[in-house]
Amino acid sequence: MLKTGHLKISTQQKVFGLLFAAPWILGFIIFTLFPITEAIRFSFMDYNILEEPNWIGIDNYRHMFTKDPLFYKSLYNTAYYVIFQVPLSIFVGLGIALMLNKDIKGIAAYRTLFYMPSIVPIVAGTILWKWMFHQQYGILTNFVEFFGIAAPGWLSDPGFAKNSIIIMSLWGAGGGMIIYLAGLKNIPRMYYESAELDGASSIKKFLYITLPLLTPTIFFQLIMGIIGSFQIFTQAYVMTGGGPNDSTLFYYLHLFYSAFKHWKMGYACALAWVLFIIIMFFTVINFTLSKKWVHYS
């Protein structure tokens, strides 16, 4: 009887658990799993929304790799952005966190000040930076010219436009700063006290205590940074539209134009799956290499 009663209670708990989880499960099936499976199907079709999709096999992928020069151009632009933006954002975010990991008066206000840009809506922040990059009246232009240096064509020079978007991306480094700060606070104080008793310098304490114990946080930021950087879109769409001369046509922007400007939904789905495979490849590589440099204890 007791066993039967226990089983009844256990079954009730399972039912209640499933009922509470049902909204998430339904949302995942409808808004995530179903679109993913449909994207796989449409990537093998010629589909423009207005007409019935036609099965064309691997033609979308063949066109992508053999006949679409913008595929390689956008891939290069995105790779350039990832290679420079991810290390810079880690360096700047960690640097700010180290500066703000002090017990000084008003430190909460300083942390809030650095964190605030990361909560500004991305479109609003992008428009603000577009004004700052203005070739005649922009703050950055006037700042550079104050030192007698000719300002570059921030957003008009094909050779510099990507760098401008990278500079702008550092505006949100305060978001990463909070995560680094949490990691720094988790490092036991006794390690530093022992090192100080042995006469260790600040640089040695950073290299042999802070940095090794912060590697899980850096690894997390690296993975998230790579995934986010491969999906760079809004800044380029609002500031340059992909120009000049396609120099800021990033992969996600090319995908967006293929889907909603040229109405090639099937081709856009194929682009999305190639991007997924690229991101997955780098994520797996990073997880494999992390065994050599990330310390979890």
pLDDT band at 1 (very low <50, low <70, confident <90, very high): very low
Q: What average pLDDT does range 68-80 have in this prediction? A: 96
Instruction: Report the pLDDT value the prediction gives residue 2, as an integer from 0 to 100.
Output: 45
Q: What average pLDDT does range 150-162 have in this prediction? A: 92
Nearest to 229 by CA among 166, 294, 160, 164: 166
Instruction: Report the pLDDT value the prediction gives residue 103, as an integer from 0 to 100.
Output: 83
Instruction: Report the pLDDT value the prediction gives residue 7, as an integer from 0 to 100.
Output: 55
Q: What average pLDDT does range 247-274 have in this prediction? A: 95
With beta carbons less than 8 A apart as the criterion, state whether 133 and 167 touch: no
Average model confidence (pLDDT) across the chain:
91
Instruction: Report the pLDDT value the prediction gives residue 295, as an integer from 0 to 100.
Output: 86
Output the six-digit token pair for 34. Answer: 């179903």
Output the six-digit token pair for 51. Answer: 């007409």
Q: What is the dihedral of CA 136, 140, 146, 148, to 10 degrees?
A: -80
Instruction: Report the pLDDT value the prediction gives residue 174, as an integer from 0 to 100.
Output: 87
pLDDT tens digits, one per residue of 195-228? 999 999 999 999 999 999 999 999 999 999 999 9
Q: Is the pLDDT of residue 11 over 90?
A: no
Q: Is the pLDDT of residue 9 over 50?
A: yes
pLDDT tens digits, one per residue of 190-200? 999 999 999 99
Q: Is the pLDDT of residue 102 over 90?
A: no
| pTM as predicted | 0.89
Q: What average pLDDT does range 105-133 have in this prediction? A: 91
Tell me the C-alpha distance between 274 and 143, whole Å: 42
Instruction: Report the pLDDT value the prediction gives residue 297, as an integer from 0 to 100.
Output: 67
- Count Cβ atoms within 10 A of the Cβ of residue 32 and give its class: 0-12 exposed, 13-18 middle, 19 or more buried: exposed
How far lies 184's CA from each of 47, 206, 218, in Å? 51, 11, 11
